Amino acid sequence: METKLLSEFYHLDEFRFLDGYKKHGGYVNLAKALTMQPQGIIDEVKASGLRGRGGAGFSTGMKWGFLPKNNEPRYLVCNADEGEPGTFKDRLMMERAPHQLIEGMIISAFAVGSKKSYIYVRGEYHFPVQVLEQAIQEAYKAGYLGKNILGSGFDHDMDVYRGAGAYICGEETGLISSLEGQKGQPKLKPPFPAVKGYLQKPTIVNNVETLAAVKYIIRDGAAAYKKYGTEKSPGTKLFSLSGNVRKPGNYEVLLGYPLKDLIENEGGGMKPGRKLKAVIPGGSSAPVLTADEAMKATLDYENLAAAGTMLGSGAVIVIDDSQCMVDMLGVLMHFYHHESCGQCTPCREGTGWLNKIVHSILEGKGRLQDIDLLVKVADNMKGRTICALSDAAALPVLSFVTKFRDEFEFYVREGRSKVRGSFYAQMHH
């Protein structure tokens, strides 16, 4: 069953506009927050246990706590570069509830003492950008943005920045480089953005869903928010369910919800005559689960970590028994090779080799030792680069090859897919 905390009013068209948003409690919590002490808001967010919803799952309150305790100007940046394959929740949130994000951002900006924020939206999201820009204008007119917000003495300006098609800009230091008008290449940490970020100033980068959730922590209090979800993964989360299920879509459930229920109840189960083969539970970078593993998994940070994978962005990609895992790994490696920013050798070269090796197997030119070569290359890419893209490419390889080795070996031996009906089988045989 869904638990609609953030998405309660997403079905209402009026919720996209200021009047409709206000009818359903909009900006009441901004007024409440502005009467609180900024440190009190940070403490509340820390106590709520809210974890970053973009992928890393880091404690939001702790991230805010890394800001220097001085009067240096600081920035708040909303990461709306949603690019993790399988993820489409931030798009929904921006299209259906722009003011929810804006209100969450103003509250967060007040808490961290930022007078300027940006929403960095991926370039392809033309419509979300339009919706946000219109909503920001409404917020300015109504006095929720600009000088002396609601008579509190707090000033805040907000603007939207459109990216231009680069997965790497979802990495927070890559995003900052892009916002500064550079190539979107990540930077070595430390210094972390909270200390030196946008224009070398302290900067907090949070995901759309994280910032929107802050509003509900202010509304209900940390103790009430903690009642949702599990002890280590409090709250609700929007899961983007895609792939071979009957009813793909975004579903908001309590963290700790069984993956099986998400697929069978919300997702309507598998298509007629099809069986579950595998699930990627947290976006394409998360190691894949076999059907058996998936049936036992629950959707929270700790359970998925114990299962050797991760919750990531909450993109649940369902793969049925008509799909070829060698083929799917080929799709993923093409992606990571395309998106490597080229700074670090293990990633730039490694993603290229992984892509080449998988595709040579797909073309029927593979050798048995290529399967181990994939593992060797992937192993050498882990933990050796500035950002996590290299690991993100290596993890699917290691999990696909380990868990579905029979399909890889069959492909090499026979020069064709073990699964009839796969794309390569149709195209080449």
Partner 1 sequence: MLETAKTQFQLSAEGLADVKKELARYETKESAIIPALYVAQKENKGFITTAVIHHLGQVMDIPVSKINEVFKFYTMFNQVPVGKHHVQVCTNISCALEGGRELASHICHELGVKLGQVTNDGRFSVSRVECLGSCGTAPMMQVNDKYYESLTPESAMNILRGMK
Question: Which one, 301 or 400, has the nearer CB to partner 1?
Answer: 400
Alpha carbon distance, N-terminus to C-terminus of the chain: 44
Binding site for partner 1 (CB under 8 A): 82-88, 90-91, 122-127, 159, 161-167, 178-184, 198-199, 240-244, 248-250, 280, 284, 315, 317-319, 323, 327-328, 331-332, 335, 338-339, 341, 423
> Which two tokens mark 112?
């961290």
- How many of the other CB atoms lie within 10 Å of CB of 305? 13
Question: Which one, 235 or 248, has the nearer CB to partner 1?
Answer: 248
Question: Which one, 42 or 179, has the nearer CB to partner 1?
Answer: 179
HEC string of 184-229 equals: CCCCCCCCCCCCCCHHHCCEEEEEHHHHHHHHHHHHHCHHHHHCCE
Q: 206: which strand partners? A: 78
To the nearest whole angstrom, how small is the minimum distance from the Cβ of residue 393 to partner 1? 13
Dihedrals phi, psi of 289, to nearest 5 degrees: -110, 145
**Helix, coil or strand: residue 282:** coil
To the nearest whole angstrom, how small is the minimum distance from the Cβ of residue 223 to partner 1? 34
Dihedrals phi, psi of 119, to nearest 5 degrees: -110, 110
To the nearest whole angstrom, how small is the minimum distance from the Cβ of residue 320 to partner 1? 8
To the nearest whole angstrom, how small is the minimum distance from the Cβ of residue 177 to partner 1? 10
Burial (0-12, 13-18, 19+ Cβ within 10 Å), 147: exposed
HEC string of 31-83 equals: HHHHCCCHHHHHHHHHHHCCECCCCCCCEHHHHHHCCCCCCCCCEEEEEECCC
Question: Which one, 29 or 173, has the nearer CB to partner 1?
Answer: 173
To the nearest whole angstrom, how small is the minimum distance from the Cβ of residue 343 to partner 1? 11
> Which two tokens mark 331?
């799709």
To the nearest whole angstrom, how small is the minimum distance from the Cβ of residue 162 to partner 1? 7
Question: Which one, 165 or 221, has the nearer CB to partner 1?
Answer: 165
Question: Which one, 108 or 323, has the nearer CB to partner 1?
Answer: 323
